[in-house]
């Protein structure tokens, strides 16, 4: 029997080793592919093992590295690592003349470093922790994350085939993905706040490097935007640590102590607020959403990783950790309002986008807003919905990104307008995409079920404004997903099948994810019992009744079954097989392929059907800056008022 301590230690360190192995193999050889895919599966196995053991145990376990020597080695590594990260930021900022990033980076890291060198750091009690929430995060990062790394192997070779202007640094790219995973496992497992901060900064810098991969001016610009926003979050985080060290008499130095503090005084509340502020930047809530929108310039695997398994999930993970402290507080209310607002605003903005990746980005922001709002309520139902949403979102979103990436490699475009008739052009990818999209918004798939729980949570906690944000946001969510779905489902006559060049390594990732979406539909009562309930039990120290139960579950099962039976049944019974086929009606003579008609001069004219984007109403030009402005004011207000409670 291997202990979970060993596997979790392995999970933190091993991805860095893999990264090193990958970065040394510059050429796209079979060995590199095997390294990535094999080690990916190894990480996945270790993560699932750790998660299952922890969930079966159902307890919170605090532990530290096995020996004093290992502990001090870890402490020193983290110290050196922090300096290294700061150096990376400094060098790149100087090279690209973005000096403000150095300032922000130093502002976050230097106080922590100074304290460490001056020996002012209080003695730590705990360093690492495993509990059900960490286990759930292990599953998200450890299953979806490695799948994305494997997908990247095939994707990147296609990518460089199509983008000859970009220098091939695939080895660096793949290595960064693994570093990211290592950082992610470290962050989830760390309990000591300084350690959390270190891994927090790793992910910030990693995402910065990934976004800037192509080194085009746009990529550089966007990567620095991501960098400064995330470093600003880091500043908030380190400020939170300092407040706890110096101003609170309990000298809290770990997350678990923070959780067990009971009713928080104004000082603790200030640091909770600062951590929440950091979480808002990471999970790209308004006003910090623009970094995530810019992140799509990078190759798709990095987007998939940032959006689903890692980066943005860190923010909401942090909020869920803090959620018991939010209940009934001013900070909690502000976090819910910001989350609800982000959900609503981002879903409106998504309507106006025709770039597939951008719609996905807005949808991520919007869904994370919902999770943020749920965590902010600090109620058990809210946290239930938050964890569920996180799980479903990770799977659906990474699948959608991968599909869009593949479609782009196959058709040379990721614009939704060009996906017209995808079901004929690339049937396999279209089917995967349809399942992914349905997973995002339709009953009875997971996201909607969780949204339903969220709605109940908001009603029960009497947050009427939040309910309003949620119902109106749901309306626009339906609109932008359904019109995309419609575009894919369009059947064009006499259209040719494009050659589907999807790599084997990409299918290794996409097929299991598609399967997961379907399985998770059926398995969600099980997931609720075995994964989410333990989280609630340890977070709130009490047994929580099932949020959605009994007859509803049965009815939803019937619905899921029907969704899959209707297509099968109609094929089996060959419904409509004898119907006469014709062309669609174009108020004239259809020229025979649904894309041309004969005009009054007898000429054949082409016909093009576009979706509605309603730029004038929901466009970025009109909505984005006001949204950023409003939410920025809210964030500043939140921090100032909480500070006012202390000083």
Partner 1 sequence: MAVSIIIRVILYVLLAPVIGGLLEGLDRVISARMQGRQGPPIVQPFYDVYKLLNKQTIVVNSIQVLFIMAYLIFTVFTGALFFGGGDMLLVFFSLSMSEVMLVLAAYSVNGPYSAMGAQRELLQMMCYEPMMLLLAIGFYVAQGSFMVNDLIGATRPAVIALPGMFIGFAFVLIIKLRKSPFDLSTSHHAHQEMVKGLTTDISGRDMGLVELAEWYDTTLMMGIIGMFFVTANPVSYLFAILACAVVFFLITLVDNTHPRVKAMHMFGITWLVVLVCAGTNLLILNLIK
Does position 609 interact with partner 1 (CB under 8 A)? The reply is yes
Look-up: residue for tokens 């929108």?
Answer: 293
Structure tokens at 124: 């730590």
Does position 447 interact with partner 1 (CB under 8 A)? The reply is no
One residue of 20, 45, 491, 589 binding partner 1 per CB under 8 A:
491
Q: Which is nearer to partner 1, 90 or 495 (CB)?
A: 495
Does position 556 interact with partner 1 (CB under 8 A)? The reply is yes
DSSP assignment of 276-294 equals HHHHHHHTT-TTSTHHHHH
Q: Which is nearer to partner 1, 328 or 644 (CB)?
A: 328
Q: Which are the contacts of 268, defined by CB distance < 8 A and separation ≥ 6? A: 244, 248, 252, 258, 261, 325
Helix (H) or strand (E) holding 267: helix 266-282
Does position 545 interact with partner 1 (CB under 8 A)? The reply is no
Q: Which is nearer to partner 1, 585 or 647 (CB)?
A: 585
Could you give the CA distance from residue 502 to residue 628 in angstroms, rounded to a whole number? 39
Does position 589 interact with partner 1 (CB under 8 A)? The reply is no
Per-residue x/- track, 450-489, partner 1 (CB under 8 A): --x--xx--x--x-x--xx-xxx-xxx-xx--xx-xxx-x
Q: Which is nearer to partner 1, 174 or 433 (CB)?
A: 433
Please, is 377 exposed, middle or buried when counting C-beta atoms within 10 Å of its C-beta (0-12, 13-18, 19+)? buried
Beta bridge partners of 192: 254
Could you give the CA distance from residue 613 to residue 623 in angstroms, rounded to a whole number? 14
CB 4 within 8 A of CB 54: yes
Does position 34 interact with partner 1 (CB under 8 A)? The reply is no
Least distance in Å: CB of 352 to partner 1? 13
| Bond from prior residue into 444 cis (ω within 30 degrees of 0) | yes
One residue of 492, 508, 544, 634 binding partner 1 per CB under 8 A:
492
Which residues in 28-60 are b (16+ Cβ under 10 Å) and which e?
Answer: eeeebbebbbebbeebbebbbbbbebbbeeeeb
| Beta strand extents in 79-142 (DSSP E only) | 128-130
Does position 107 interact with partner 1 (CB under 8 A)? The reply is no
Q: Which is nearer to partner 1, 125 or 415 (CB)?
A: 415
Q: Which is nearer to partner 1, 316 or 424 (CB)?
A: 424
Per-residue x/- track, 242-281, partner 1 (CB under 8 A): ----------------------------------------
Least distance in Å: CB of 368 to partner 1? 21
| Number of residues counted as binding partner 1 (CB under 8 A) | 62
Does position 381 interact with partner 1 (CB under 8 A)? The reply is no
What does R_g of the chain's alpha carbons equal in angstroms? 25
CA angle 304, 371, 104 (to 5 degrees): 70
Stretch that binds partner 1, among 316-324, 528-536, 577-585, 630-638 (CB under 8 A): 577-585
Would you tell me which residues interact with partner 1 (CB under 8 A)? 421, 423, 442-444, 448, 452, 455-456, 459, 462, 464, 467-468, 470-472, 474-476, 478-479, 482-483, 485-487, 489-493, 551-552, 555-556, 558-559, 562, 566-567, 570, 575-577, 579-587, 594-595, 607, 609, 611-612, 614, 617
């Amino acid at each position: 029997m291997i202990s979970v301590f060993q596997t979790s230690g392995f999970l933190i360190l091993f991805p860095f080793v893999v990264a090193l192995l990958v970065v040394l193999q510059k050429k796209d050889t079979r060995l590199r592919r095997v390294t990535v895919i094999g080690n990916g599966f190894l990480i996945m196995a270790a993560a699932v093992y750790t998660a299952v053991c922890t969930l079966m145990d159902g307890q919170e376990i605090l532990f530290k590295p096995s020996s004093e020597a290992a502990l001090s080695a870890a402490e020193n590594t983290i110290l050196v690592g922090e300096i290294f990260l700061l150096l990376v930021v400094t060098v790149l900022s100087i090279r690209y003349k973005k000096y403000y990033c150095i300032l922000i980076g130093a502002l976050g890291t230097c106080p922590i470093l100074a304290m460490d060198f001056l020996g002012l750091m209080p003695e730590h009690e705990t360093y690492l922790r495993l509990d059900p929430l960490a286990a759930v995060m292990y599953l998200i990062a450890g299953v979806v994350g490695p799948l994305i790394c494997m997908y990247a192997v095939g994707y990147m070779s296609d990518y460089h085939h199509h983008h000859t202007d970009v220098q091939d640094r695939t080895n660096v790219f793949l290595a960064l993905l693994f570093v990211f995973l290592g950082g992610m496992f470290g962050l989830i497992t760390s309990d000591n706040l300084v350690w959390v901060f270190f891994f927090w900064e790793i992910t910030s810098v990693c995402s910065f490097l990934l976004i800037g991969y192509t080194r085009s001016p746009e990529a550089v610009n966007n990567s620095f935007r991501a960098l400064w926003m995330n470093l600003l979050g880091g500043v908030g985080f380190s400020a939170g640590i300092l407040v706890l060290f110096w101003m609170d008499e309990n000298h809290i130095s770990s997350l678990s102590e923070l959780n067990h503090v009971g009713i928080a005084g104004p000082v603790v509340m200030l640091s909770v607020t600062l951590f929440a502020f950091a979480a808002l930047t990471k999970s790209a809530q308004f006003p910090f959403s623009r970094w995530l929108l810019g992140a799509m310039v990078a190759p798709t695997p990095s987007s998939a990783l940032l959006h689903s398994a890692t980066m943005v999930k860190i923010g909401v993970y942090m909020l869920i950790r803090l959620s018991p402290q939010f209940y009934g507080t001013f900070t909690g209310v502000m976090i819910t309002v910001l989350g609800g607002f982000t959900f609503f605003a981002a879903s409106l903005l998504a309507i106006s986008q025709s770039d597939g990746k951008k719609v996905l980005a807005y949808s991520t922001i919007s869904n994370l807003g919902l999770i943020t709002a749920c965590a902010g309520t600090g109620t058990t139902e809210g946290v239930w919905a938050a964890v569920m949403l996180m799980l479903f979102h990770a799977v659906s979103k990474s699948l959608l990104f991968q599909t869009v990436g593949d479609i782009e490699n196959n058709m040379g475009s990721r614009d939704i307008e060009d996906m017209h008739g995808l079901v004929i052009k690339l049937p396999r990818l279209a089917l995967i995409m349809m399942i992914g999209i349905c997973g995002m918004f339709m009953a009875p798939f997971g996201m909607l079920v969780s949204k339903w729980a969220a709605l109940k949570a908001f009603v029960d906690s009497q947050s009427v404004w939040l309910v309003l944000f949620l119902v109106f946001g749901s309306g626009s969510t339906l609109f932008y997903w359904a019109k995309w779905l419609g575009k894919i489902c369009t059947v064009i006559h006499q259209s040719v099948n494009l050659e589907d060049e999807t790599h084997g390594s990409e299918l290794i990732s996409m097929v299991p994810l598609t399967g997961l979406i379907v399985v998770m539909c059926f398995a969600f009562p099980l997931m609720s019992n075995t994964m989410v309930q333990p989280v609630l039990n340890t977070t709130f120290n009490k047994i929580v009744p099932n949020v959605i139960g009994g007859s509803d579950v049965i009815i939803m099962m019937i619905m899921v079954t029907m969704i899959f039976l209707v297509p099968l049944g109609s094929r089996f019974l060959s419904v409509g097989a004898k119907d006469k086929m014709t062309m669609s009606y174009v108020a004239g003579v259809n020229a025979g392929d649904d894309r041309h008609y004969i005009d009054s001069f007898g000429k054949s004219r082409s016909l093009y059907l576009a979706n509605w984007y309603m730029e004038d109403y929901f466009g970025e030009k009109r909505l984005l800056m006001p949204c950023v402005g409003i939410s920025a004011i809210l964030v500043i207000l939140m921090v100032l008022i909480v500070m006012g409670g202390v000083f």
